[in-house]
Amino acid sequence: MSGETTVRRAAHAAPSDWGRLNSRLLLVNLAILVAPVAMFLATYLVAGKTNLQILITLGSLFLTFLVISGIGLMRLMTTRYRVGEDMVELQSGLLFRSRRSIPLDRIRSVDLTANPLHRLFGLTTLTIGTGEQSSSAGQRLSLDGISAADAAELRRQLIERRDAGRGLGAAAEDDGPISELDWSWLRYGPLSVWGVGGVFIAAASVYRTLHELKVDPLEWGVVKDLEHRFGSVPLWYGVLVALAVVVVLGIAGSTGAFIESWSGYRLEREDGGMFRVRRGLFVTRSVSIEQRRLRGVELVEPIPLRWAKAARLNAVASGLGNLEDNRRRRALTPPVPRAEARRVATEVLGEHPALTVRDGLLGHPRAALRRRVNQALIWSVLIAAVPFGLGVWLGPAWVTVGCVTGAVLVPVLVAFAVDAYRTLGHGIRGRYLVTSAGTFAHRTVALEREGIIGWKITRTPFQRRAGLLTLGATTAAGEGVYKVRDVSTGQGIALAEDAVPQLLLPFLERAPRSARRG
């Protein structure tokens, strides 16, 4: 049965059988109209004046939000839902009626999300997904605007009826919390590499919005005052101060993002073989992952976290939706101490996998090191060549800049290349194939061997010259392919055969007898 099915018997059902969205959703829709009014007041207070362009832009924005509120009101009036014996059904629409259903035995996730407006009025959004890779709306049902209590009860009913249909038993003895937020982890919040980038993105967005409103921030009184006070300082000093301000704002933004995303964090094992991750301060999130669909874990250590001996842990699981949904829902932990991440991995997988090269993973050939060092040298030359080439037209000063740039980049990039080589590793640990790689972010994946459905072997011309290949384990979970990079041909073939016997063997060709003798 498809994920979207016409419900013929729904038309004959009693009205009392169907649930409705909460009436407080009307207040949420009306509250949306506050945004353009607040933007008008903020613009007037900052700029100290208004003009026709500002009024037209904000008026158009108000009309857009009014249409959005009207659509939300229409959804409130027409949406109905119910949980039957074998499926959950949803109908909505006034001019164009939509009737959809998902069989209970195909439900893979029941997630709860509440933004600040929803939380203000005690509402939440319940999303039911089948976990298929397609992003089609037919693969999920969303109830946007039911009370938090009704959402919790509906989630419980859906999981219980689904598990009853599968014949699953009662709760296991080890149900309960696996990990909870420790506020000492807040020290890892500023170590996100996206904090500084977020400052530039926010500044560019604000400037573009003001430009559309015909407002020049350089003409503001506060900007003129700063220019008058500090306009005579040396350029290098101004650059250093600007960088310091950006870094401070980036650290503050990263810390704030950590608090918002991970407040109330709790990873727990629930009835019916489910893992549930709950987190969020302003926007609360509750993500469910079926244990039987878990195919492994991924330990991620970006450079700042690695220096602090911390890491993040992601689930490698099927049933999390398409690639975008998977990346949004796969997180099992925030940035935590590496020991805590490894402990959670052991709890989730039921055994202790090797998650670092120090656990005895096999190293890769020295040819892989030479390949990375060569790449580092090539990039150093290419980057340094830009100012060096400009020196031909702009003067010898740029030639000096190019030489200095190359002299600095060579040892730095070679150091990164050596570190990337040391990260390379692979091995088989019990039920799992473990692979480790990465330069700026070390990624170690423990992938269940039973979840491997094929192998993808790639060899660039440079790899063929060095006798190397990249072995990709394909799976229906997570990213879809997890690669063992730059192993020797013999290592790669042996690893594939040991991990999943007979899967690769039919595609191998024996070398001619004369070639073997040579």
pLDDT tens-digit series, residues 398-428: 888 888 888 999 999 999 999 999 999 999 9
State the CB neighbour count (10 A cutoff) for residue 123.
23
Per-residue pLDDT tens over the stretch 344-398:
999 998 876 666 545 678 889 999 999 999 999 999 999 988 887 777 777 777 8
pLDDT band of 179, cuts 50, 70, 90: very high
Secondary structure (DSSP) of 357-386: GGG-PBP--HHHHHHHHHHHHHHHHHHHHH
466-515: pLDDT as tens digits? 999 999 999 999 899 999 999 999 899 999 999 999 888 777 666 555 44
DSSP 436: E
Residue 239 has pLDDT above 80, yes or no: no
pLDDT-wise least confident of 159-168, 380-389, 428-437: 159-168
The answer to whether residue 260 scores a pLDDT higher than 50 is yes
Provide mean pLDDT across the span 285-308.
91
Task: Return the pLDDT at 8.
Answer: 37
pLDDT for residue 261 is more than 50:
yes
pLDDT at position 318 is 87
The pLDDT score that the predictor gives to residue 44 is 62
Work out the pLDDT band at 444, boundaries 50, 70, 90.
very high
What is the Cα 274 distance to its own chain's centre? 20
Q: Reply yes or no on whether the pLDDT at 156 is more than 50.
A: yes
Q: Taking the complete model, does pTM exceed 0.95, yes or no?
A: no
Distance set, CA 288 to CA 163, 184, 262, 280, 475 (Å): 14, 26, 16, 15, 20
- Give the model's pLDDT for residue 517: 45
pLDDT at 6: 36
38-57: per-residue pLDDT in tens?
766 666 666 556 666 666 76
The CA dihedral of 59, 65, 67, 71, to the nearest 10 degrees, is -170
Taking a C-beta distance cutoff of 8 angstroms, is the pair 178, 269 a contact? yes
Amino acid 212: pLDDT: 64
Does 171 score more than 50 pLDDT?
no
| Environment class of 442 (CB within 10 Å of its CB; exposed 0-12, middle 13-18, buried 19+) | buried
Predicted confidence (pLDDT) at residue 133 exceeds the cutoff of 50: yes
Query: Looking at residues 138-158, what average pLDDT do you find?
Result: 85
How far is residue 27's CA from residue 137's CA, in Å, rounded to a whole number?
Answer: 26
| 52 to 56, 214, 303: CA distances (angstroms) | 6, 10, 50
**Tokens 């900007």 belong to which residue?**
223
191: Cβ contacts below 8 Å, ≥ 6 apart: 254, 302, 304, 305, 308, 310, 335
Most confident of 24-28, 346-350, 432-436: 432-436
Q: What is the DSSP string of 446-500?
A: EEEGGGEEEEEEE--HHHHHHTEEEEEEEESSTTSEEEEEEEEHHHHHHHHHHHS
Confidence (pLDDT) at 448: 93
Instruction: Find the mean pLDDT for residues 66-82.
Output: 81
Check residue 4 and report its DSSP letter: S
35 phi and psi, to 5 degrees?
-60, -55
Nearest Cα neighbor of 89 from 79, 102, 98 is: 102
Residues 6 or more apart in contact with residue 87 via CB below 8 angstroms: 5, 101, 102, 103, 104
> What pLDDT does residue 436 have?
93
d(CA 141, CA 126): 8
Q: What is residue 2's predicted lDDT score, i.e. its pLDDT?
A: 39
pLDDT at position 7, please?
A: 37
* 267 within 8 A of 333, measured Cβ to Cβ: yes
> What pLDDT sits at residue 72?
75
Separation between Cα atoms, residue 200 and residue 207, nearest integer Å = 10
CB 285 within 8 A of CB 126: no
At residue 1, the pLDDT reads 38
Question: How confident is the prediction for the chain on average, in pLDDT?
Answer: 81
pLDDT at 16: 43
* Axis crossing angle, helix 34-47 with helix 52-78, rounded to the nearest 10: 160
Helix (H) or strand (E) holding 198: helix 194-212
What is the reported pLDDT for 208? 72
Residue with tokens 């060096």: 388
383 and 409 in contact (C-beta within 8 Å)? yes
Report the C-alpha dihedral over residues 428, 450, 136, 326, rounded to 10 degrees.
-30
Whole-number Å distance between alpha carbons of 296 and 452 = 11
Is the model more confident about 41 or about 126? 126
Q: Percent of the chain having pLDDT more than 90?
A: 35
Give dist(CA 494, CA 516) in Å, integer.
18
